[in-house]
Amino acid sequence: MHWEDVLNNLGFLMKGLGVTLQLAVLSIAGSLVLGTVLGVIRYVKIPPFSPLAAMYIEFVRSIPLILFIVFIHFGFLPFILGTSASFFVSACVALIIFTSAYVAEIVRGGLNSIEKGHIDAAVSLGLTGFQRLAYIILPLAFARMMPALVSQFIALIKDTSLASTIGLIELTRSGEIIYERTYHEFEVLAFIALIYFMICFSLSKLSKKIEIKI
Amino acid sequence: MIRLENVTAYYKNLCVLQDITVNIAKGSIVALIGPSGCGKSTFLKCINGLVPVRSGRIFIEDTEITSKNTDLNRIRSEVGIVFQQFNLFPHLTVKKNITLAPVKVKGMKLEEAEDLAVSLLKKVDLLDKIDKYPEQLSGGQAQRVAIVRSLAMQPKVMLFDEPTSALDPQMTQEVLDTIKSLAKEGMTMVVVTHEMSFAYEVADRIIYMDKGRIKEGIEN
Ligand SMILES: Nc1ncnc2c1ncn2[C@@H]1O[C@H](COP(=O)(O)OP(=O)(O)OP(=O)(O)O)[C@@H](O)[C@H]1O
Ligand SMILES: [Mg+2]
């Protein structure tokens, strides 16, 4: 066994981990916001926007993430910005677009699951449509959506490793760089897998705590 | 106080209320009875705009709520409705359930709304539940909190849709007592109920509905 490969390169791996975590946090935040907006638009059925949101969701869910990352980095962002974007920005944009489609469907499902009685009660108290969403329907829906959202975000955390394909030096790519030199893949990959596991497992545990509170 | 003129209401193609004309005087208590599915709930929901009417007109005091220009949310804040299933908001404490609408809809100050919540909860003997969540209440307690939630909007009219049919006899009594005490204070009320003895005891008038029509009004 060659665990010294891991030990000697610990600093380098931790730097990769830092990139992975930043990418994950930003993408989770971005896709949560975008996905919620899209899900609400589908729920309230505003004529031109709701079908557009539905098309966006169908389109995004039908294409593999890895193609998104490549296409956004080499095609979409250079076209929009007029210059090439960093690996990090490209990966982040791709993950947000991709995950927001799934979050939107989760949000829509959660909103639709709210009992008619609670909505009737909110309407009959005189709350406006926006107030009903903000104070009653969305908070109730989010409490219910927690488990589905957490699985989606756990998938996202693991998917950040796909950013290595365009050259972003995150956790997985840092590992590759090490074993391309040392040829001891197993130890490095096992160590990286353990780190992904610990991140995802603690997120899952944390969400259970929040669920109980609500 | 509440006047319905030739009101007709549909769910899609299903005619649920047919040519209803009623006048409910200020301070009176009307019990609404009739077989399941005859349109009692729909009747109440029309009065606070939860279900739109197909034709006819509804007035609350002198405001026509079926007119396009009426601010429905303002009317709704003046007409309280209490449902069979309580429908308390499960993610909010009793206090929040009660103060949310007065603060957000009527623009009441939070402290003022909380004082109001305290005094109303005292009346129904539930002050100790103020920081509890709905799931921590019994059915009878939840229904009395739901009544308080409506009263906190200081409505001119209270509508009750089978407020006790999800409750066992002892809890039923608690809720009926609360409604009776409101009657003493002169609140205008329409109560859909299967409790005939209650209807005869409290109501000024009993309206019998069948298949979306009013069959008879019995002066009590
Ligand atoms: N949201 C709805 N969509 C379609 N039909 C409905 C809806 N709500 C009620 N109905 C139908 O309208 C009719 C009247 O319903 P309503 O709830 O007013 O009756 P009810 O007298 O309150 O009955 P119950 O005593 O069972 O509560 C019924 O035939 C019912 O099936
Ligand atoms: Mg009913």
Mean pLDDT across the stretch B171-189?
91
The rounded percent of chain B whose pLDDT value lies above 90 is 75
B218 has pLDDT over 70: no
**Nearest residue of chain A to residue B149 (CA atoms):** A125
Distance B59 CA to ligand 1 centre (A): 23
Instruction: Kindly identify the ligand whose nearest atom is closest to the C-alpha of A117.
Output: 1
Q: Which residues of A92-131 are buried (b: 16+ CB within 10 A; e: fewer)?
A: bbbbbbbbbbbbbbbbbebbeebeeebbbbbbbbbbeeeb
Q: Which of A158, A51, A17, A40 is nearest to A100 (CA)?
A: A40
pLDDT, position B220: 63
pTM score, whole prediction: 0.88
Split at pLDDT 50, 70, 90, the class of B71 is: confident
pLDDT at B155 over 90: yes
A140 touches chain B (CB under 8 A): yes
B143's tokens: 């229904």
Q: Which of B73, B74, B121, B122 is nearest to B93 (CA)?
A: B121
Chain B positions touching A213 (Cβ under 8 A) are none
Q: Looking at beta carbons, which residues of chain A come within 8 Å of B45?
A: 120
**Phi/psi of residue A92, nearest 5 degrees:** -65, -45
Asked whether the beta carbons of B193 and B31 are under 8 A apart, the reply is yes
In this structure, are residues B54 and B9 in contact, taking their beta carbons and an 8 Å threshold? yes
What is the overall mean pLDDT for chain B? 92
What CATH number did the domain enclosing A50 receive? 1.10.3720.10
Tell me the average pLDDT across B176-193.
Answer: 92
Q: How far apart are alpha carbons B189 and B1 in whole angstroms?
A: 10
**Which residue of B lies nearest to A138 if distances are taken between CA atoms?**
B91
Residue A129, in any domain of the structure = yes
**Which of B10, B12, B36, B38, when mutated, tests ligand 1's pocket best, judged by the most ligand atoms within 8 Å of its CB?**
B38
State the Cα–Cα distance between residues A95 and A101, nearest whole angstrom: 10
pLDDT value at residue A214: 56
Q: What is the pLDDT of residue B179?
A: 92
In this structure, which residues have their CB less than 5 angstroms from ion ligand 2? B 41
Q: Is residue A106 part of a domain?
A: yes
Supply the mean pLDDT for chain A: 93
Residue A98, domain member (yes or no): yes
Numbers of helices and strands, H then E, in chain A:
11, 0
Contact A120 B153 (CB under 8 A): no
Burial category of A74 from C-beta neighbours within 10 Å (exposed 0-12, middle 13-18, buried 19 and up): middle
Q: Is A210 within a domain?
A: no
Nearest ligand 1 atom to alpha carbon B12: 4
CA pair distance A163, A173, nearest whole angstrom: 8
Cα A161 to Cα A17: distance, rounded to the nearest angstrom: 10
- Segment-wise mean pLDDT, segments of 10 residues, chain A, 214 residues: 84 94 97 97 90 95 95 92 92 97 97 94 94 95 92 96 94 93 89 95 87 62
C-alpha–C-alpha distance, residues A144 and A4, integer Å: 46
Quickly tell me which residue has 């999800």 as its tokens.
B166
Q: Which amino acid, B210?
A: D
For B60-215, where are the alpha helices, taking DSSP H only? 72-78, 94-104, 110-123, 139-151, 169-184, 196-202
Q: What is the pLDDT of residue A166?
A: 92
**pLDDT for position A142:** 92
What is the predicted pLDDT for the residue at B217? 64
Does the Cβ of B36 fall within 6 Å of ligand 1? yes
What residue owns the CA closest to ligand 1's atom 25?
B36
By alpha-carbon position, which residue is closest to atom 22 of ligand 1?
A: B41
Q: Cα(A117) to centroid of ligand 1, in Å?
A: 14
Of B41, B44, B149, which is closest to residue B94 (Cα–Cα)? B149
CB B94 within 8 A of CB B134: yes
Mutate to test the interface with B, among A115, A124, A135 (most CBs of B within 10 A): A124
Give the residue, by CA position, lying nearest to ligand 1 atom 27.
Answer: B36
Structural domain contains residue A115? yes
Is A202 domain-assigned? Answer: no
Residues B77-119 have pLDDT tens digits of 889 999 999 999 999 999 999 999 999 999 999 999 999 999 9
Flag whether A2 is in a domain. no
| Residue B95 to residue B93: CA distance in whole angstroms | 5
Which long-range contacts does B36-40 make (Cβ < 8 Å, 24+ apart)?
Answer: B38/B209, B38/B210, B38/B211, B38/B212, B39/B9, B39/B209, B39/B211, B39/B212, B40/B161, B40/B162, B40/B192, B40/B209
What range defines the domain where residue A115 resides? 19-166
* Residue B35: C-alpha distances to residues A80, A92, B31, B39, B47 (Å): 65, 60, 14, 9, 20
Query: What would the mean pLDDT of B151-166 be, rounded to a whole number?
Result: 94
Whether B42 lines ligand 1, by a CB cut-off of 6 Å, is: yes
Count up the domains in chain A and report the number: 1
Residue A32 forms part of a structural domain: yes
Which residues of A fall within a CB distance of 8 Å from B143? none
Pair B25, B190: CB distance under 8 Å: no
Do the beta carbons of residue B49 and residue B42 sit within 8 Å? Answer: no
